[in-house]
A and B are shown apart, each in its own frame.
Chain A
Amino acid sequence: GAVVSQHPSWVICKSGTSVKIECRSLDFQATTMFWYRQFPKQSLMLMATSNEGSKATYEQGVEKDKFLINHASLTLSTLTVTSAHPEDSSFYICSADPGSNYGYTFGSGTRLTVV
């Protein structure tokens, strides 16, 4: 149980285009999801907290107009990287807490390459 499904697992896009990444909680409701970015050989850096039915909370230094987050239902959160540039190339991964002391569960991650 407590699975978070993330799609796509990898994507290559042209500079200037937008890419949408989806995370779904399959067997639990997630009022909150967390979005992280991980550059090669680095740690997971929290980008934003996605809240169902309200605006996301962004960490300092993360451009909210560039990284659009939508959490329209209790099981789906999306991250859209707008006007992507090569420096946005990274591993993006979502996470949620299923509750009941289960611990956070992570999506499988999305490797974004902007060319």
Chain B
Amino acid sequence: GENVEQHPSTLSVQEGDSAVIKCTYSDSASNYFPWYKQELGKRPQLIIDIRSNVGEKKDQRIAVTLNKTAKHFSLHITETQPEDSAVYFCAASINTDKLIFGTGTRLQVFP
């Protein structure tokens, strides 16, 4: 089955800097790759997603890139703010079937 690896597990950045989180997946049939932000005790919130027919997607300060050949995708957050501090999860699925999550990245943005 699908296996998703995520790095780094923790990431600390200064406010205003960029943050990059990387994920790799194992099943070449996976074609949907969402990113979630989860605050303590809360449900995951979708922040951006990408499908395998595009290589990059951007939404204001957040962007995701996908390399299907290498089977990896990355989340890029620019101009980070303290409120970006949370745990971020990548995930992968085939045709919006079950989501398999990465191990998570705890992002801390220091003022």
A contacts, CB < 8 Å to B: 34, 36, 42-46, 49, 91, 93, 95, 97, 103-109, 111
CB distance from A6 to the nearest CB of B (A): 8
B43, B97, B101, B103: most-surrounded residue (chain A CB, <10 A): B43
Q: Which residues of A contact B8 (CB under 8 A)?
A: none
Most buried by A among B46, B99, B102: B99
Cβ contact within 8 Å between A43 and B104? yes
User: Could you list which residues of chain B lie within 8 angstroms of chain A, going by C-beta atoms?
Assistant: 34, 41-44, 46, 49, 89, 96-104
Name the one of A34, A44, A95, A111 contacting B89, with C-beta atoms under 8 angstroms: A44
Q: Check if B43 sits within 8 Å of A103, measured CB to CB.
A: no
Complex CA–CA separation, A42 to B34 (angstroms):
18
